[in-house]
Amino acid sequence: MIAVTTDGRDIDLEVAKLSGEGALQKVRPVDTHMQRVAREWGKLPTPDTSDPTYYGRPVLKEPVWHWAIPLYFYVGGAAGASLVMGSAAQLDRSGELENLMRRCHWAGIIGSALSGAILIYDLGKPSRFHHMLRVFRPTSPMNMGAWILSSVSPSAIVAAMFAQRRGILGAFGEISGVASGLSGLALSTYTGVLIANSAIPVWQESRRVLPILFGASAMASAGSIFDMFFEDRAARRVTYTFGTVGRAAELAASIALERQAGRVPHVARPLHTGASGFLWKTATVMTAGSLLLSVLPGRSRKRRVAAGVMGTLGSIMMRYGIHQAGVASARDPRATFRQQRAGHGAAELD
Q: Which of residues 112-131 bind another protein (CB under 8 A)?
A: 122-124, 128-129, 131
Instruction: Provide the 3-class DSSP secondary structure of residue 26.
Output: coil
Pick from 71, 152, 195, 313 the residue near another protein by CB under 8 A.
195
Pick from 79, 107, 159, 210 the residue near another protein by CB under 8 A.
210
How many CB atoms are closer than 10 A to CB 117?
Answer: 14
Cβ at position 28, least distance to another protein in Å: 28
For residues 180 and 108, the answer to whether their CB atoms sit within 8 Å is yes
Residues within window 78-97 making contact with another protein, judged by CB under 8 A: 81, 84-85, 87-89, 91-92, 96-97
Pick the closest to residue 114 from 236, 223, 225 (CA basis): 225
Residues within window 215-274 making contact with another protein, judged by CB under 8 A: 215-216, 218-219, 233-242, 245-246, 249
- Please, which residue, 143 or 282, has the CB nearer to another protein? 143
* Segment interacting with another protein, rule: CB under 8 A, options 18-26, 149-157, 201-209, 286-294: 201-209
* Segment interacting with another protein, rule: CB under 8 A, options 106-114, 202-210, 265-273, 289-297: 202-210
Residues 6 or more apart in contact with residue 321 via CB below 8 angstroms: 271, 276, 277, 278, 279, 280, 281, 282, 283
The region that residue 95 occupies, defined by phi over 0 for left and psi between -120 and 50 for alpha, beta otherwise, is left
- Please, which residue, 132 or 157, has the CB nearer to another protein? 132
Instruction: State the Cα–Cα distance between residues 143 and 149, nearest whole angstrom.
Output: 10
- Please, which residue, 181 or 277, has the CB nearer to another protein? 181
Pick from 19, 39, 54, 302 the residue near another protein by CB under 8 A.
54
Pick from 214, 226, 280, 320 the residue near another protein by CB under 8 A.
214
Residues 6 or more apart in contact with residue 315 via CB below 8 angstroms: 74, 77, 78, 217, 218, 220, 221, 224, 250, 283, 287
Instruction: State the Cα–Cα distance between residues 258 and 195, nearest whole angstrom.
Output: 16
Rg (CA), the chain: 30
- Please, which residue, 28 or 125, has the CB nearer to another protein? 125
Pick from 162, 190, 226, 280 the residue near another protein by CB under 8 A.
190
For residues 218 and 78, the answer to whether their CB atoms sit within 8 Å is yes
Residues within window 278-297 making contact with another protein, judged by CB under 8 A: none
Q: At CA 39, angle to CA 37 and CA 43, rounded to 5?
A: 115
Question: From residue 94 to residue 113, what is the string marking binding to another protein with x (rule CB under 8 A)?
Answer: --xx----------------
Pick from 71, 78, 79, 132 the residue near another protein by CB under 8 A.
132
